[in-house]
Amino acid sequence: MKMYRHIVALSIVAGLIGVCPADADEEPVPGINELYRLDLLPRLRRFESVGCVSSRDPTGGNDDGFSGKHSFIRKEEVGQVIAELDGPGVITRFHMSQPTRGIIKFYFDGEASPRIQRNIHEMFTGAHPPFLRPMVGTEAGGRYFYVPLPFQQSCQIVIETETVHFFQINYAKYPKGTVIKTYQDPPTGDFLRSLDEARELFGSAGSDISARLVPEATPMETETRRETLRPGESVTLFETSNPGRIVGLKLTPVDAFAGKERDILLRMYWDGETSPAVSCPVGDFFGYSFGEPAVRSLLLGTAAGVNYAFFPMPFERSARIELVSERKSGPPFEAQAEITLSPVGKAADEGRFYAHWRRENPTRQGEPYTFLKTTGHGHVVGVIQQAQGLHAGHTGFFEGDDLAVIDGKPVAYGTGSEETFNGGWYDVPGRWEDRTSLPLSGCLEYKKYLGRTGGYRWMIADTYPYRESIDFTIEHGPEGNRILTDYTSVTFFYSLDPPGIESSVPAATDRRVVAPERIVFTPGWNVPIRTFSLQNATLAKQMAQIGDKQIRHLAFRATGRDAFGPHHVSFLCDMPADGRYQVGLKALYGPDQGVVQLYQHDSPIGEPVDLYSEEQRASDVLPLGVLDMVEGDNPVFLLLVGKDERSETFGLNAVELVFERVERNP
């Protein structure tokens, strides 16, 4: 830690703008200090401006990289120029979300030869210095790196490939006259030591990093408090009338804050403010996904049975943290909070910590969803989003792009919602489909059958600073914000003065996680198959041309008999809530189809359905029967009980499994 401690002192003298005084014996690397010096997180940024170069469709359409039409500035003999940045500045984040093949080149300060030239694939494997894990990654369908690339005069990025698809490049510009040492390749020893500090910190995700939120030798103390929280009451977890800063918050029990109700609030007050700086359902604050713990990141999440948050939260003279129960009934529980505190009060150039909870259910037709819209002087450091579609089986709302308008200027256009969170290609197996938690970003979950997904991203070196105002939004749908959706978000930011936004949250009934009444599984895409016939049967995913439509389906074919009787196929269906559900099947009629019937516990449920037809055609939703189902995984067993005498096989072309709740369990 010696270099880290030395740089703390140097940076304070240098004014914390990423450069050193002339007599310093080591020069901090612009853009990397912010990554591992988390004590700087509340400091108001002294960048001249920030921005993001991306492959976004400037016409307002959805071709944000699919065709590559908008993914370059111009084409030259050396390749496609995708970015040209003037200095002094630093690239703080680089994201791509497609398996582009080719060579990427970085030209600095007008030089004729690139200082960085790599195979694109090698840039993100984490095995080639200085692009090492965990500063780079390829998870959740995205490729990204946070290795800072500073430049004094300019930086040009060129890709040699046939087509460039999706990308985002965040950067910060410093005031003219700022002296920055341009990136060298191979990197200097100072650069690599700084990078090692950041890598060590990033590798600590899920552990207690409160000591990294203050300069070395700064005193800290930890206070533990236990309070019994009863329905309809509130308790104080921490209170002081002295200046200081909270650098760690741990809260248990985790299960007490889980569930769909969102009816226990976390509130924080600074310096006598009457409006809370934080007023947020506890689970949402700690990164729960629709009521379940989901995040294990560097700054916030749940690990080893503990909710944790490691943001510096400075205050000048007082602070108070409360838990508020809005439950109408139920047993009390003992909440335990562990607060790590430093006696160093808020500096004049630091903002106070805020977390802004919002929900729109549904979003507004023709208008993007707003993460944060406020005035003043501050910077956004992160966002968590939960997105619930109003129609199960579809997540097209996630084609929407994010946009940051800072001080009245649009400076950062996104290319797709999952790419906002360093992912890519939602609804593609092996990519944005599983819960993924990384130090600075992740996928909360992806459940197409529920029309549900979400993500998070912490913005440390690539933060969005504003001096007058910020309007940070995200679309819902490919174009025109036409897909109405249930969006919930928490935006984390620092502000010099209390922001002019509504800090109260709606009533508990309007915060509750809503489980869709109709759930749609698509067997021909990504529904888990639990089991199927042991012999004389095959499964395939196919497309069928029915009229002017291509219909994807799961094609089951069987002949003769199975080892234990009639042929079958069963699915594992993840239900959002307990209840009785009407089970329906969308299928393709055809000359090779059989008679299907829903079974449970070796007993028939409902009537058999004959799918034989001389011509192939699509069915409506065919009722199969009613099942009692529990929240979580449920086996759904379909038996091929027979076939028309004209059919040669026991066939089943399953297009959709549809569940409609007809009764809630008590």
Q: Does residue 25 carry a pLDDT above 80?
A: no
What's the longest Cα–Cα distance across the chain? 93
Indicate if the alpha-carbon torsion angle 399, 405, 406, 409 is positive or negative. Answer: positive
Confidence class for position 427, pLDDT limits 50, 70, 90 = confident
Band the pLDDT of 648: cuts 50, 70, 90. confident
401-423: average pLDDT: 97
Instruction: Check whether 3 has a pLDDT greater than 60.
Output: no
Find the mean pLDDT for residues 74-102. 91
Residue 478 vs residue 1, higher pLDDT: 478
Confidence of residue 31 (pLDDT cuts 50, 70, 90): confident
pLDDT level of residue 2 (50, 70, 90 thresholds): very low
User: Whose CA is closest to 82, among 143, 182, 165?
Assistant: 165
Q: Is the pLDDT of residue 16 over 80?
A: no
CA 357/CA 371 separation, integer angstroms: 8
Q: How far apart are the C-alpha atoms of 126 and 107, rounded to whole Å? A: 22
**571-600 pLDDT, tens digit each:** 999 999 999 999 999 999 999 999 999 999
The pLDDT of 377-394, averaged and rounded, is 96
Torsional class of 138: left (φ above 0), alpha (ψ -120 to 50), beta (otherwise)? alpha
| Confidence at 12, pLDDT banded by 50, 70, 90 | very low
Q: At what angle do helices 189-202 and 2-14 cross, to 10 degrees?
A: 110
Which residues in 368-480 belong to E strands, given as ranges? 369-375, 378-389, 402-406, 409-413, 436-437, 441-447, 452-458, 464-466, 469-474
What sign results for the dihedral spanned by CA atoms 77, 78, 83, 86? negative
What are residue 43's DSSP bridge partners? 350
315-339 pLDDT tens trace: 999 999 999 999 999 999 999 999 9
CA atoms within 13 A on the CB side of 345: 11
Instruction: Say if residue 57's pLDDT is above 60.
Output: yes
CA dihedral (163, 168, 170, 171) in degrees, to 10, reads 20
- The percent helix, strand, coil of the chain (3-state, each to 5) is 10, 45, 45
Number of Cβ within 10 Å of residue 61's Cβ equals 14
The mean pLDDT of 382-403, rounded to a whole number, is 96
207 token code pair:
């552990």
Nearest to 634 by CA among 577, 554, 565: 577
Query: Quick one: pLDDT band at residue 29, thresholds 50, 70, 90?
Result: low
pLDDT tens profile 140-176 = 999 999 999 999 999 999 999 988 999 999 999 999 9
> Residue for token digits 């406020």?
374
Query: Can you give 82-145 as a three-state secondary structure string?
Result: EEEEECCEEEEEEEECCCCCCEEEEEECCCCCCCEEEEHHHHHCCEECCEECCCEECHHHCEEE
pLDDT at residue 528 is higher than 90: no
Q: What is the mean pLDDT of the chain?
A: 92
Average pLDDT of the segment spanning 492-505: 93
Per the listing, tokens 């226990």 go with: 264
Taking a C-beta distance cutoff of 8 angstroms, is the pair 466, 395 a contact? no
d(CA 564, CA 531): 13
pLDDT class of 665 with cuts at 50, 70, 90: low
**Dihedral sign, CA of 288, 483, 528, 600?**
positive
What confidence score (pLDDT) does residue 28 get?
Answer: 56
Question: What is each CA distance from 113 to 80, 102, 186, 448, in whole angstroms?
Answer: 15, 17, 14, 47
Percent of the chain predicted with pLDDT > 70: 95
Which tokens sit at 41? 């997180």
Residue 170 CA to its chain's centroid (Å) = 17
**Mean pLDDT calculated for residue range 354-377:** 98
Least confident of 253-262, 352-361, 379-388, 510-519: 510-519
500: which 2 tokens? 């002019």
- Proportion of the chain above pLDDT 90, given as a percent: 87
Give ∠ CA 477-480-482 in degrees, rounded to 5: 55
Asked whether residue 307 carries a pLDDT value surpassing 60, the answer given is yes
What pLDDT is attached to residue 11? 35
Distance of CA 216 to the CA centre of its chain: 32
All domains of the chain, ordered by start, with CATH? 2-202 (2.60.120.1390), 210-516 (2.60.120.1390), 519-663 (2.60.120.260)
Rounded CA separation 361/234 (Å): 27
pLDDT at residue 24 greater than cutoff 50 = no
For residues 404-409, average pLDDT:
98
Main-chain dihedrals φ then ψ at residue 326, nearest 5 degrees: -110, 20
Is pLDDT of 22 > 80?
Answer: no
pLDDT at position 5: 36
φ, ψ of residue 190 in degrees (nearest 5): -60, -45
Q: What is the pLDDT of residue 571?
A: 95
**414 Cβ contact partners less than 8 Å away, ≥ 6 residues apart:** 52, 54, 56, 168, 401, 402, 403, 420, 474
Whether the CB-CB separation of 598 and 629 falls below 8 Å is answered with no
Mean pLDDT throughout 279-295?
98
DSSP 193: H
